[in-house]
Chain A
Amino acid sequence: MHLFDVRGNFHFCLMKTLYLFILYLIGAPLVGAWLAGWDRRLSARLQSRVGPPILQPVYDVLKLTQKENMVVRRSQNFYIAYYLIFVIFTGALFFTGQDMLLIIFSLMLASVFFVLAGFKASSPYSFIGAQRELVQIMAYEPAVIFAAIGMYMVTGTFEVSKLAQTNHWLILSLPGIFFAYLFILAMKLRKSPFDISTSHHGHQEVVKGITTEFSGKALAMIEVAHWYETTFILGIVYLFFAKSVVAGLSAALAAYVFMVFVDNAFARVKWPLALASSWIVAFLCGAGNMIWLFFTRH
Chain B
Amino acid sequence: MDTTFIPVSLVIVPAIAAFLLLIFRGSKAKNFIVISASALIALGSLVLFFLNNMEGLIRFKLDIPGVSAGMLGIEIFMALFIIFIALRNGKSLVALLALIQVCLLTGFELRYGHALIVANDVFIDTFSVIMALIIGVIGTLIAVYSLGYMRSFHRLHAGEFPDRQPMFFFIIFVFLAAMFGIVFSNNLLWLYFFWEITTLSSFLLIGYKGNAESAQNAFRALLYNLIGGLFFAVAIVWMHFFAGTIEMDKLMVMHKAVVMFPVMLLCFAGLTKSAQLPFSSWLVGAMVAPSPVSALLHSSTMVKAGVYLIVRFAGVLEGTVVGLMIALVGGITFLLTTFIAVSQSDAKKVLAYSTIANLGLIVMCAGIGTYQAVWAAILLIIFHAVAKGLLFLCVGVIEHKLHSRDIEDMTGLIIKMPKMSIMLQVGMAGMFLAPFGMLISKWAVLRALVDYNPLLTIFLVFGSSATLFFWVKWMGQLLCVLKEEEDDETGISRAEWMPLTTLTIFTVGVCAFFPLIAKTMIEPFIRQMYNATVTMGQGNIMIMLIMLAMVMLFPLSFFYYGKKVKVVDAYLSGANTAIGTSFTNSLGGATPMEMKNYYLKRYFQEEKLLRIGVAVCIFLMCAATFIFVS
Q: Point out residues on A near B: beta carbons under 8 Å.
A: 1-4, 68-75, 77-78, 81-82, 85-86, 89, 93, 98-99, 101-102, 105-106, 108-109, 112, 115-116, 118-127, 130-131, 134-135, 137-139, 141-142, 145-146, 149, 152-153, 158, 207, 212-213, 272, 275-276, 279, 283, 287, 290-291, 293-294
Given contacts A98-B543, A102-B543, A138-B469, contact A213 B571 (CB under 8 A): yes
Closest to B583 in A: A124
Contact pick for A102, options B443, B457, B597, CB 8 Å: B443
Given contacts A78-B554, A122-B570, contact A105 B443 (CB under 8 A): yes
Give B552 Cβ to nearest chain A Cβ, in Å. Answer: 12
Across-interface contacts of B468 in A (CB, < 8 A): 108, 112, 134, 137-138, 141
B491 at the interface (CB under 8 A from A): no
Across-interface contacts of A72 in B (CB, < 8 A): 567-570
Choose the segment among B25-33, B197-205, B279-287, B470-478 that binds chain A (4+ C-beta atoms closer than 8 Å): B470-478
B626 at the interface (CB under 8 A from A): no
A141 touches B464 (CB 8 A): yes
Contact pick for A74, options B434, B447, B562, B593, CB 8 Å: B562
A119 touches B439 (CB 8 A): no
Closest 5 CB pairs of A and B: A119-B476, A1-B539, A123-B570, A105-B434, A78-B557
B461 at the interface (CB under 8 A from A): yes
The digit string for B586-618, where 1 denotes a CB below 8 A from any CB of A, is 000000011101101001000000000000000
B593 touches A124 (CB 8 A): yes
B473 touches A81 (CB 8 A): no
A212 touches B598 (CB 8 A): no
B482 touches A101 (CB 8 A): no
B531 at the interface (CB under 8 A from A): no
CA distance A131 to B472 in the complex (A): 9
CA distance A72 to B547 in the complex (A): 29
B595 touches A124 (CB 8 A): yes
A127 touches B469 (CB 8 A): no
Count A-B contacts at CB 8 Å: 183
Given contacts A3-B539, A102-B443, contact A89 B550 (CB under 8 A): yes
Across-interface contacts of A291 in B (CB, < 8 A): 455
Q: Point out residues on B near A: beta carbons under 8 Å.
A: 433-435, 439, 442-443, 446-447, 450, 453-455, 457-458, 461-462, 464-466, 468-469, 472-473, 475-477, 479-482, 537-540, 542-544, 546-547, 550-551, 554, 557-558, 560-562, 564-572, 593-595, 597-598, 600, 603
Give A285 Cβ to nearest chain B Cβ, in Å. Answer: 13
A287 touches B458 (CB 8 A): yes
A212 touches B455 (CB 8 A): no
Give A158 Cβ to nearest chain B Cβ, in Å. Answer: 8
A-B contact pairs, 14 of them (CB 8 A): A78-B557, A86-B550, A112-B468, A112-B472, A116-B472, A116-B479, A118-B476, A123-B570, A124-B570, A134-B598, A141-B461, A145-B457, A146-B461, A290-B454
Across-interface contacts of B568 in A (CB, < 8 A): 70-72
B472 touches A123 (CB 8 A): no
Given contacts A78-B560, A102-B543, contact A125 B571 (CB under 8 A): yes
B450 touches A153 (CB 8 A): yes
A122 touches B539 (CB 8 A): no
Give B514 Cβ to nearest chain A Cβ, in Å. Answer: 14
Across-interface contacts of B540 in A (CB, < 8 A): 1, 98-99, 102
Closest to A124 in B: B593
Give B376 Cβ to nearest chain A Cβ, in Å. Answer: 13
Given contacts A70-B565, A93-B543, contact A81 B557 (CB under 8 A): yes
CA distance A126 to B564 in the complex (A): 22
Across-interface contacts of A275 in B (CB, < 8 A): 603
CA distance A135 to B480 in the complex (A): 18
Apart from A131-B598, A137-B468: 11 A-B pairs, beta carbons within 8 A: A1-B543, A70-B565, A72-B567, A73-B481, A93-B543, A102-B540, A105-B435, A106-B547, A121-B570, A124-B572, A145-B461
CA distance A276 to B462 in the complex (A): 12
B558 touches A75 (CB 8 A): yes
CA distance A181 to B472 in the complex (A): 24
Across-interface contacts of B466 in A (CB, < 8 A): 138
Q: Which of A72, A82, A98, A276 has the most chain B CB atoms closer than 10 A to its own CB?
A: A72
Contact pick for B480, options A122, A134, A283, CB 8 Å: A122
B571 touches A294 (CB 8 A): no
A4 touches B455 (CB 8 A): no
CA distance A248 to B537 in the complex (A): 29
Closest to A78 in B: B557
B472 touches A109 (CB 8 A): no
Across-interface contacts of A75 in B (CB, < 8 A): 557-558, 561
B567 touches A85 (CB 8 A): no
Closest to A110 in B: B434
B469 touches A101 (CB 8 A): no
Give B449 Cβ to nearest chain A Cβ, in Å. Answer: 9
Q: Which of A82, A130, A135, A276 has the most chain B CB atoms closer than 10 A to its own CB?
A: A130
Across-interface contacts of A125 in B (CB, < 8 A): 570-571
CA distance A264 to B554 in the complex (A): 39
Give B296 Cβ to nearest chain A Cβ, in Å. Answer: 30
Given contacts A124-B572, A138-B466, A141-B464, contact A119 B475 (CB under 8 A): yes
B603 touches A272 (CB 8 A): yes
CA distance A106 to B453 in the complex (A): 25
Give B143 Cβ to nearest chain A Cβ, in Å. Answer: 34
Q: Which of A4, A68, A86, A102 has the most chain B CB atoms closer than 10 A to its own CB?
A: A102
CA distance A123 to B568 in the complex (A): 11
Contact pick for A106, options B434, B442, B554, B567, CB 8 Å: B434
Given contacts A75-B561, A122-B570, contact A127 B480 (CB under 8 A): yes
Closest to A150 in B: B454
A123 touches B564 (CB 8 A): no
CA distance A294 to B452 in the complex (A): 11
CA distance A207 to B480 in the complex (A): 19
Given contacts A72-B568, A127-B480, A127-B595, contact A98 B539 (CB under 8 A): yes
Contact pick for B538, options A4, A109, A127, A212, CB 8 Å: A4
Give A221 Cβ to nearest chain B Cβ, in Å. Answer: 13
CA distance A275 to B339 in the complex (A): 13
A116 touches B475 (CB 8 A): yes
A85 touches B550 (CB 8 A): yes
Given contacts A120-B480, A207-B571, A291-B455, contact A141 B539 (CB under 8 A): no
B458 touches A109 (CB 8 A): no
CA distance A291 to B442 in the complex (A): 21
Across-interface contacts of B593 in A (CB, < 8 A): 124
B469 touches A134 (CB 8 A): yes
Give B156 Cβ to nearest chain A Cβ, in Å. Answer: 30
Contact pick for A134, options B472, B551, B566, CB 8 Å: B472
Give A207 Cβ to nearest chain B Cβ, in Å. Answer: 7
A4 touches B539 (CB 8 A): yes
B476 touches A116 (CB 8 A): yes
Contact pick for B565, options A71, A116, A146, A290, CB 8 Å: A71
Give B558 Cβ to nearest chain A Cβ, in Å. Answer: 7
A119 touches B479 (CB 8 A): yes
Give B528 Cβ to nearest chain A Cβ, in Å. Answer: 27
CA distance A294 to B554 in the complex (A): 43
Given contacts A71-B565, A106-B434, contact A141 B465 (CB under 8 A): yes
Across-interface contacts of B546 in A (CB, < 8 A): 89
Give A126 Cβ to nearest chain B Cβ, in Å. Answer: 8
Across-interface contacts of B603 in A (CB, < 8 A): 272, 275-276
Across-interface contacts of B539 in A (CB, < 8 A): 1-4, 98-99
Closest to B436 in A: A109
CA distance A101 to B443 in the complex (A): 7
Across-interface contacts of B564 in A (CB, < 8 A): 69
Closest to A287 in B: B458
CA distance A93 to B600 in the complex (A): 34
Across-interface contacts of B481 in A (CB, < 8 A): 73, 122
B454 touches A149 (CB 8 A): yes
Q: Which of B546, B551, B595 has the most chain A CB atoms closer than 10 A to its own CB?
A: B595
